[in-house]
A and B are shown apart, each in its own frame.
Chain A
Amino acid sequence: MMKKIFSLLIAALMLLSLAACADPADSAETTVPSGASTTAGSPESEEITNDPSGVFELPTETSEYEGKIVFLNSDTRSIAGLDDASADLLDQAVFKRNAIMSERYGVEVSEIVVKSSKAATAAENEIMSGDPSFDVAMLNYTNATKLARQGLWYDLTSIDNISLEKSWWDQSANLNYSFGNQLYYTYSNMVTSHFDHVRCFYFNHSIMSANSLSVDELYMKAIDGKWTLEEMYNYAKDVYRDDGNGIADASDIYPVVGVPSTTYSALCSGADASYIKIDPKTSLPYAYFTTEGFIDAYNLILDTMSGNNFFYTGCKKNTEATDMFVDGHALFLMTTISNSNTMRTGMKDDFGFLPLPKRDLNQEHYTCNAPNPYSMAIPVCTKEPERIGFILEAMAYYSTDTVRTTFFEIKLYGQTSRDALSWQTLDLIYSNIAYSIPVESTISYSSTINGMMVEGSRDISSYIQSVKSSMEKDIEKFINEVTK
């Protein structure tokens, strides 16, 4: 209870500090929250005064770029925000950020909302017309990649007013989405879907306690970098409890729950076995799943998960898996951070966060992937790249103390987390985001491998041999398209 009160107090303090922050820009010049890809920040604000990646180098007031900026937004969260005291805190923060843009630059942020299913075609048609009704598109990375392959996006690295190395741009996305020194879409503090979409493990305090497992020890293992597949198995192996009917069904208590295909995909990512990786020597993608390293990880994950009644595989939807966890039917749940809202409002038991488990202790870092977040891209036919670039840079910067702070410090640390150590593991999760390499969104091999894992198939080697050649051609074609 004390922990909850403490969390609430922090949340209240953060709310007050946000509300009282008359000039976020001035504040940000001296106190710059850390970047998404380095460290997510903590309830205790840290001051970084000599970090060049935290220094805003554009004018803090000018009328040179005034006017509207229009976003084509297929994200479920508004980029215009809401000026309503009863609105969601993030919507209020977005509105506040936009108010700063209006006051300092005379920029009005507008959005055209489009369904994700229509977004790619809508954007493509409008860009092909040469005079789109939007300046910036917010598309999920699958759609953004599709249009990047057609050459419909402006190279962000060629816009002087955008400083991609700054902390308010997502460095992990910049790295994973760059090909041949060109970057067509990325993330910044401007929006939060890439934070929301990050996958992690949740655990249930009460089930830990019922099995005489120490929450603090588990946290310390994770913080010390020792949270591995083997540790996960050791913690969970004795947790299964039948509800008395003798049938393994959803009313029992399981070690792990999650949608099978996404859980296996996440475990591969966590075990540093993403299907596609970037070759550090060439900065180009290659098929990691055709390597021995991937096959080892594949088999290790199957060994870990295929124990009798270890992983409940009956959930077809995320909501089903989350509901099982909320109702106390699983020690661990693999899902995205966005689902923590369901836990926050509906879960009686306390819960905690963990990064995706490492393959073993030899793995240097945790890796937590974020499937298909909404990225930001500028149409190739834009007539004013520097104006748009300026506005995006400023929006990302002014979002740091508004949107980002609200997401992490008020909502996630303050409102959602239920214990004192969650923020440390959340920090680990956000310090180790690894976005999928875009080529993966355009191929079908990954879904086949997911399906094989769900079926428990051990015949991965022969499948890899059968597709290796065509896979390499696909990657080559992808590289040619996005780098030409």
Chain B
Amino acid sequence: MKFKAILSLCLAALMIFMSACSPNGGETGDFSSEVASDEVSETNASNASEAETTAAEVTTEKEQVVLTPVTADDIPAFSGGAKRSDYNCGDGVYMKVINMVMELEYRTYLEKLPTLGYVEESAREVGDSIFYTFSREGTALIAAYSGSEDTARLTILPYNPYEAYSDIYGVTNAAVGDVEPLVTMVNTGINGEDTGMSYIIRTPTGSFIVIDGGWTGVGEAKKIRNILKEQNTNGSLPVVAAWILTHPHADHYGAIADMASVYYDEIVLERVIFNYMSDEMLAKSDVDKILNDNNSPFNILRKALSSEKKWGYTQVIKPHTGDILNIDGVEIDILHTHEDVAPDTSALQYNNAASMVFKVTAGGHSVLFLADLTSKNMLSIAKRFGDHLKSDILQPTHHGRTHGKIEVYQLVSPTVVLWDCALSSYNEYKNQDYNQYLIKNFPRHYISEKGTVTLSMKTLEEVS
């Protein structure tokens, strides 16, 4: 460890995000002195109660976190397996992928880590997957194993999320609120064209979680703003506890750019959560142009997150498969990121494969968001998570167009299917076998172009 820099929590995360945009990769340490001197101390967001309070006034006090640059070489040696690969996960996170690993070898490794000074932060076994997270001297090591794939993935982080984001990681006393939790599929569609994926979860405390948001430039941000206002019970600005972005395709991550440009002061945005690939990988992918285009949603968001006037107070969080985040009483279980595709970097040229997949649970029910996950990775999550995929509500992958897999949909067995697509698209693809499986076997279906729909997460009934 060469040095430690004291950074504000959100600016540290922002710095990581910015480094992803840097043509040079932006080594973590390069920003330290600049960012550390730019400290801001303001009032806590939770204190905002008056209706006239503006978002600019409602900023969070920046907690301090130790950021410790790491490389793949800092990952403790693994004995066993074969065919090892290093993968740059982006944002200062590195991974070693080891194939042909026996479970015994993996468990031996887990036993070794405490002897090297690692402290266990979390452990879970789900399906045929095992996830352990350890911390040591301000870093974290995620040791994951998939039995069906005989693969160990060892991921090292330059911070310990259980310390840095202790309000959402390792939460044992989840927030309890009396607000009815809701899930809303936002009406998208422009003259019969798909305009993307846009969902809003209202948490039991009355805050919101926005998922993707849809295209830029076609009014999606305004729709989200209006729904947040309508569903807001707090009497002040709507608090978006998290805005989750599944992957950087325009029909998913565009609307947050419009929110950042126009309505940034009409919400309090506490966190932005996403796990994009490294800048090197993005530059080789189907979104290569977003890095250097000042007007891309990617850079508009980046600027907003570095702007004191806008969302400089917002935390930026990069979750990993196996993580469970608890946000205001809503559990978010991360099931897939681009890190699960590595080392097959050729598959990641198409960002759909890098979609972040997660299950959201609130009010006794769950929603599985598959984003645009590709078919090979659909089969992978079926193998890795099995029955754990069971959910009450399903968002079929890729707007119900391609990549669907009956194997996954069987495991999910939803009561409600939310098709985020245009009617024309639904009709064009509904005869695909995987879609027919959903249509014939499960009772309730909603199509986003027909209109916004809101369901209670307690009863699954429609809420007007």
Contacts and interface: CB of A to CB of B under 8 A. Distances in A.
Interface of A: 68, 70, 72-74, 76, 78, 80, 82, 87, 91, 110-115, 118-119, 121-122, 125-126, 129, 132-133
A91 B222 CA distance: 26
Interface residues of B, number: 19
B219 A132 contact: yes
A95 B295 CA distance: 14
B215 A118 contact: yes
B261 A118 contact: no
B217 A118 contact: yes
Given A110-B261, A113-B257, A133-B262, A78 B295 contact: yes
B294 A91 contact: yes
A444 B447 CA distance: 38
Nearest to B294: A78
A72 B217 contact: yes
Contacts of A126: 218-219
Contact of B190 (A110, A115, A121, A132): A121
Nearest to A114: B217
B83 to A, nearest CB: 42
Given A113-B217, A114-B216, A126-B219, 15 more contacts: A78-B294, A78-B295, A91-B294, A110-B262, A111-B261, A112-B216, A112-B221, A112-B258, A113-B216, A114-B217, A115-B217, A118-B218, A119-B217, A122-B219, A133-B219
A114 B261 contact: no
A267 B163 CA distance: 68
A76 to B, nearest CB: 7
Interface in B266-312: 294-295, 297, 300
A133 B222 contact: yes
Nearest to B225: A133
B191 A113 contact: no
B262 A113 contact: no
A132 B218 CA distance: 9
A112 B294 contact: no
Nearest to B257: A113
Nearest to A131: B222
Contacts of B261: 70, 80, 110-113
Contact of A133 (B191, B221, B300): B221
Contact of B191 (A76, A82, A114, A125): A125
B262 A70 contact: yes
A86 to B, nearest CB: 12
A118 B218 CA distance: 8
Interface hub of A76, A91, A115, A132 (most chain B Cβ within 10 A):
A115
A73 B294 CA distance: 13
7 contacts: A74-B217, A110-B261, A114-B216, A115-B250, A125-B218, A133-B221, A133-B222
Nearest to A129: B219
A312 to B, nearest CB: 30
Contacts of A133: 219, 221-222, 258, 262
Contact of A113 (B193, B222, B295): B295
Contacts of A72: 217
Contacts of A112: 216-217, 221, 258, 261-262
Nearest to A82: B294
Contacts of B217: 72, 74, 112-115, 118-119, 122
B286 to A, nearest CB: 15
A359 to B, nearest CB: 40
A132 B220 CA distance: 11
Nearest to A132: B219
A33 B351 CA distance: 49
Contacts of B258: 112-113, 133
A376 to B, nearest CB: 16
A121 B194 CA distance: 13
A73 B262 CA distance: 13
Interface string B324-351: 0000000000000000000000000000
B449 to A, nearest CB: 12
Interface in B215-257: 215-219, 221-222, 250, 257
Contacts of B191: 121, 125
Contact of A76 (B222, B295, B300): B295
Contacts of B262: 68, 70, 110, 112, 133
A85 to B, nearest CB: 14
Nearest to B189: A125
A129 B193 CA distance: 17
Listed from nearest, the 7 A-B pairs whose CB atoms lie closest are A114-B217, A133-B222, A122-B218, A110-B262, A113-B295, A112-B258, A133-B219
